[in-house]
Amino acid sequence: MKAEIIAIGTELLMGQTTDTNSSWLATQLPALGIDLYFMSQVGDNLGRAVDTLQRAVQRSDLVLTTGGLGPTEDDLTREAIAAFLKEPMYVDPALKEQLIQWFQSRGGRMAERNIKQAMLTKSASPLGNPRGTAPGWWVEKDGHIIVAMPGPPREMQRMWEFEVAPRLKQRLTGEAIVSRLIKTFGIPEGTLDEMLGDHLHGNNPTIGVYSKTDGIHLRLTAKAGSEAQAWTLLSPLEAAVRQIVGQSLWGTDQDSLEGIVGTLFTERGMTLATMESATGGLIASTIADNPDASSYFKGGIVALTPSSLVAHGVEADLIERFGMVSKEVAEDMARAARAIMDSDVGIGITGVSSVPDSATRATGAVHYAISHAALSRGFSANYPQGRLVLKQRAASAVLFELQKFVSSLSAAGKL
Amino acid sequence: MKAEIIAIGTELLMGQTTDTNSSWLATQLPALGIDLYFMSQVGDNLGRAVDTLQRAVQRSDLVLTTGGLGPTEDDLTREAIAAFLKEPMYVDPALKEQLIQWFQSRGGRMAERNIKQAMLTKSASPLGNPRGTAPGWWVEKDGHIIVAMPGPPREMQRMWEFEVAPRLKQRLTGEAIVSRLIKTFGIPEGTLDEMLGDHLHGNNPTIGVYSKTDGIHLRLTAKAGSEAQAWTLLSPLEAAVRQIVGQSLWGTDQDSLEGIVGTLFTERGMTLATMESATGGLIASTIADNPDASSYFKGGIVALTPSSLVAHGVEADLIERFGMVSKEVAEDMARAARAIMDSDVGIGITGVSSVPDSATRATGAVHYAISHAALSRGFSANYPQGRLVLKQRAASAVLFELQKFVSSLSAAGKL
């Protein structure tokens, strides 16, 4: 099955919004054995949207659209599909009732123009959207499928997962594609490339190398007549890659660093506390992204200045002697976090990002430390790519080292 | 002049790389008065690349391509353009010499396959790329312009700025486009649409409505013979829109909530502290995104459990009586944050996101408060769309209310 993705919205052509829906959908298609040949973005213009749709249906079996399902007049995806189908739109009473309920349950009333979102045509059936007011459309016509999904990523992704992908799976027989995402941290992309050598040149299975904020991801993909056969192709490559990347591997597939950290702390019944300056609370926020965080994360402190560090138990003398951005202060922050919050493990991080008079120091220097009664470790790094990159990279680095730290504690029998 | 952008590369269709070049280029075109109607992504496939190019040239005056100029066999952009032009490629001696120099200056030798990057056709002239080995192509044919630029963003952006944009400026005499982004918070999209009414129907100037995590953005755009004339068209609309959105407007263009908050606190010489449960540190992290934060942000506390709230000065009795997720506790957190950090303003936020046993409570309930010696305010909201959305929406809501709070303090003469 050949697919094509169309993202609809003038904001995409203004450059203010980058179309991440298309790349997200692109990652979902291989597992279904669907080939993607084209992606495009078109503005909120009826004529151009219809043209784009027409060409897409000519050359593809499946056309996925995102965006343009909102209540406003420039949301034209329904209109474009109806025009392409040459079918009139009508208000579906059941959809209208759902919409009214949706607004009532939130204590509001439905604006008159939202009625648009209850419209269908003869060939279109609705796709549920519990996260928003815009139902999707599933259209079948002359052996082609058009699926219209809303633009907000969390509405679109939910609709894809629960409404669209299951329907497509039913239709598809044929090639199965399986893939495994290997997540690493700490090896630069070029080096990893060299280490992988000839493994990168295979046709089936293949390896893709992608740089992400939480490290380098490797996507291993294999195709075969059945899913089992595809896994048989993939497994030896996965074993080889795991061997090559070694200790820098931290997870696979849907794993997140905060999830891995959460599992380790929960399994061991340990607790965690943080004290941050350079990352301004991003590490605490990332740890708290794990739904179980409150069972092991005893709390975090954000302190951007020497006086607020001292107020939270960091030794003034160390700040005086080594400066706020120093290995020594990071270590004392980790210790102080542990002491104040009465936790098993403490994290401290300091860096130039939060200090405005950074002209005198190497920009992007970060020091962080992990502290436990039986073991302490300090780390230094440099992220000269600006404040936001520094925060993200440093948060990933800390969580990566934290999971290694906790694992090594257990290995050393220190728990 | 009508433009179209084509990004070339199979990695884009694998979804692991999001095409940020196209959205970056899209932001550069309005200032030149160039209209962008289409963007698309196509894989490293000669046939499909030629087809896409052909259609683009048919409907657009200017076609910008990115990617596919590397030395490897799957880099096919030059080949596609040559095939479209029906012109043979040849090695340009000057380009070849430059390439050899480039490698020599870095202590290496040129691999044989790099010779590809020294190729031209009759209608193509080269565009310099001091940041890489791939020169761009500037092609003129039958009144249409095709510009091929490399895929790595820093090479592409440099080439655009120094090679492409200046050439385009010379060609263009004509329309200037100006735009103003109006940022609002608190009015739902549908309601805002109704409030804007007929203003949404204009052809020039126009209004686009976009939903973002920090509220609803309105993009006002006008075209005219000169920039000054375009502003003359835009200004009355901007005044009307400002009138309509009233108090829900918090910024324009590049403004961020944390930047607005930072300016207010700095101007008034006030200080700020936070105590977060539901948002897990995201509010502190967002406040700290402002480079000057350390001058007014005295610090933040992240506390996910009743006991850690009590450890940071929240009254146990209130938690007992009203529950951790309550208006009363949020208010006491704001007060405690202010007291512990000795700041002028304190923020407290609690909600169900951080509490795993949330089954018993309305999912997504959030209470937050802002406290000052002269004034305190409490707010309640509901974000049932899951943990990550709750965190983002709540953080935006808090910062939006915070800037209103500080402004109202000054207006009331309480500073």
- Please report the pLDDT score of residue B263 as a whole number: 96
Pick A208's closest partner by Cβ from B14, B295, B304.
B14
Q: How confident is the model at residue B16 (pLDDT cuts 50, 70, 90)?
A: low
Q: How confident is the model at residue B203 (pLDDT cuts 50, 70, 90)?
A: confident
The answer, yes or no, to whether residue B223 has pLDDT greater than 90, is no
Cβ-proximal residues to B363 (8 Å cutoff; 6+ apart), any chain = B352, B384
Taking only residues 256 to 285 of chain B, the set having a beta carbon closer than 8 angstroms to any beta carbon of chain A reads: 274, 276, 279-285
Query: Whole-angstrom Cα distance, residue B204 to residue B221?
Result: 7
How do residues A185-229 score in pLDDT, each as one tens digit? 988 777 787 888 888 888 899 888 777 789 888 989 888 888 889
Cross-strand partners of A365: A382
Q: How confident is the model at residue A232 (pLDDT cuts 50, 70, 90)?
A: very high
What pTM does this model have? 0.76
Pick B15's closest partner by Cβ from A27, A341, A356.
A27
Given CB atoms, is A378 within the 8 Å cutoff of chain B? Answer: no
- Please report the pLDDT score of residue A358 as a whole number: 43
Segment B286-300 mean pLDDT: 94
Segment A390-408 mean pLDDT: 94
How do residues B364-382 score in pLDDT, each as one tens digit? 899 999 999 999 999 999 8
Pairwise CB contact (< 8 Å): A294 & B311: no
- Please report the pLDDT score of residue B362 as a whole number: 52
Pairwise CB contact (< 8 Å): A25 & B15: yes
Go through the domains of chain B in sequence order and give each one's CATH number.
2-171 (3.40.980.10), 176-252 (3.30.70.2860), 257-411 (3.90.950.20)
Cβ-proximal residues to B305 (8 Å cutoff; 6+ apart), any chain = A294, A298, A299, B324
Sheet holding A2-8, edge to edge: A124-127, A136-141, A144-149, A62-66, A2-8, A35-42, B35-42, B2-8, B62-66, B144-149, B136-141, B124-127
Residues of chain A with Cβ-Cβ distance to B281 below 8 Å are 276, 281-285, 288, 300, 302
Q: How confident is the model at residue A31 (pLDDT cuts 50, 70, 90)?
A: confident
Give the closest residue to A19 by CA, choosing from B370, B23, B249: B23
Give the closest residue to A28 by CA, choosing from A60, A5, A54: A5
CA of B387: which chain A residue's CA is closest? Answer: A289
Query: Whole-angstrom Cα distance, residue B70 to residue B76?
Result: 8
Q: How confident is the model at residue A1 (pLDDT cuts 50, 70, 90)?
A: confident
Segment A358-366 mean pLDDT: 63
What mean pLDDT is reported for chain B? 90
Give the closest residue to A351 by CA, choosing from A393, A317, A312, A410: A393
Residues of chain B with Cβ-Cβ distance to A71 below 8 Å are 189-190, 193
The answer, yes or no, to whether residue B120 has pLDDT greater than 70, is yes
Amino acid B267 reads: E
Per the listing, tokens 């980790």 go with A334
CA of B44: which chain A residue's CA is closest? Answer: A37
Q: How confident is the model at residue A104 (pLDDT cuts 50, 70, 90)?
A: confident
The answer, yes or no, to whether residue A180 has pLDDT greater than 50, is yes
How do residues B270-288 score in pLDDT, each as one tens digit? 999 999 999 999 999 999 9
Query: Whole-angstrom Cα distance, residue B386 to residue B375?
Result: 32
How do residues A148-175 score in pLDDT, each as one tens digit? 999 999 899 999 999 999 889 878 766 7
Pairwise CB contact (< 8 Å): A113 & B30: no
- Please report the pLDDT score of residue A353 as a whole number: 57
Q: Tell me if B187 sits within 8 A of B153, measured CB to CB.
A: no
Number of other residues whose CB lies within 10 A of the CB of residue A377: 16
Segment B124-132 mean pLDDT: 91
Distance of residue A320 Cα from the nearest chain B Cα, in angstroms? 18
Distance of residue A412 Cα from the nearest chain B Cα, in angstroms? 30
Q: Tell me if B137 sits within 8 A of B78, measured CB to CB.
A: yes
Residues of chain A with Cβ-Cβ distance to B42 below 8 Å are 37-38
Q: Six-digit token pair at A242?
A: 């795991």
Distance of residue B334 Cα from the nearest chain A Cα, in angstroms? 15
Q: How far apart are the first and last CA of chain A?
A: 53
Distance of residue B311 Cα from the nearest chain A Cα, in angstroms? 8
The answer, yes or no, to whether residue B101 has pLDDT greater than 90, is no
DSSP-derived pairing of the beta strands B119-120 and B90-91: antiparallel
Query: Whole-angstrom Cα distance, residue B131 to residue B23?
Result: 21
Peptide bond into A205 cis (omega under 30): yes
Q: How confident is the model at residue A17 (pLDDT cuts 50, 70, 90)?
A: confident
Distance of residue A72 Cα from the nearest chain B Cα, in angstroms? 6
Pairwise CB contact (< 8 Å): B356 & A27: no
Give the closest residue to B289 by CA, choosing from A277, A388, A398: A388
